[in-house]
Amino acid sequence: MKTVTIRRTNEQIPVGKIICIGRNYIEHAKEMQADIPDKPVIFLKPPSAIIYDGEDIIIPKISNEMHHEVELVVVIGKGGKNILASDADSHILGYAVGLDMTLRDVQAEAKKKGLPWTVAKGFDTSAPISEVLLKDEIPEPHNLNLVCRVNGTVRQQSNTDKMIFSVHKLIEYISSIITLERGDLIYTGTPEGVSQVNNGDTIEAELVGYIKITNNVKSETK
């Protein structure tokens, strides 16, 4: 079973569901030539997709186009159903930085055929995540600078104040459909600047001033 580690206490929390949000930044929706959603777009990754700082991201044989997506990740501390946005903060344990690694060619094919995104988004190593910062270490989750560098060059740089749906609105929406439980993760969507990575690249994903992960990209042996 995969876990996440609380940085301050070293406590290990078993990971439940991984709920991901698509198109939560206007500029990313535009670069994907997608409509701006009027309610959150949600999809799931399996917990087996998780890897940690320093581990390799593996491009599966089925793809020739893997993209990075840097995201703020919310870690649920207290479960619930039909949680109101006004009460959502009490359900949050903390925050992490993560990468929603995406097989863009596989996803494009799935979109064209109206098929699910599970293969494009849920493959092994598709969910790198940092240690977890407790909520009291992140006073303003909607004013965090997110940066993604590839081989030292900045590819994505934005602020969580540009989210279309706030963390609290996301919790309200998700929990109206899917019961949230302790250890569930919410990948809250990526800003613009997503781009391809290749065998041998090094990706750094950072919540500026708080925490960073570094992962190398490798191709699965064909």
Which residues of the chain form contacts with Mg ion (CB under 5 A)? 69, 100, 190
Closest approach of Mg ion to the CB of residue 194, in Å = 8
Of the two residues 67 and 91, which places its CB atom closer to Mg ion in the complex? 67
Closest approach of Mg ion to the CB of residue 50, in Å = 15
Of the two residues 86 and 142, which places its CB atom closer to Mg ion in the complex? 142
Comparing every residue's Cβ against Mg ion, the nearest one is 100
Closest approach of Mg ion to the CB of residue 101, in Å = 9
Closest approach of Mg ion to the CB of residue 186, in Å = 11
Of the two residues 69 and 172, which places its CB atom closer to Mg ion in the complex? 69
Of the two residues 60 and 80, which places its CB atom closer to Mg ion in the complex? 60
Closest approach of Mg ion to the CB of residue 20, in Å = 6
- Residue 92 CA to residue 146 CA, distance in Å, equals 20
Of the two residues 45 and 149, which places its CB atom closer to Mg ion in the complex? 45
Burial 73-83 (b: 16+ CB within 10 A, else e): bbbbbeebeeb
Distances (CA, A) of 128 to 36, 77, 122, 213: 26, 20, 12, 8
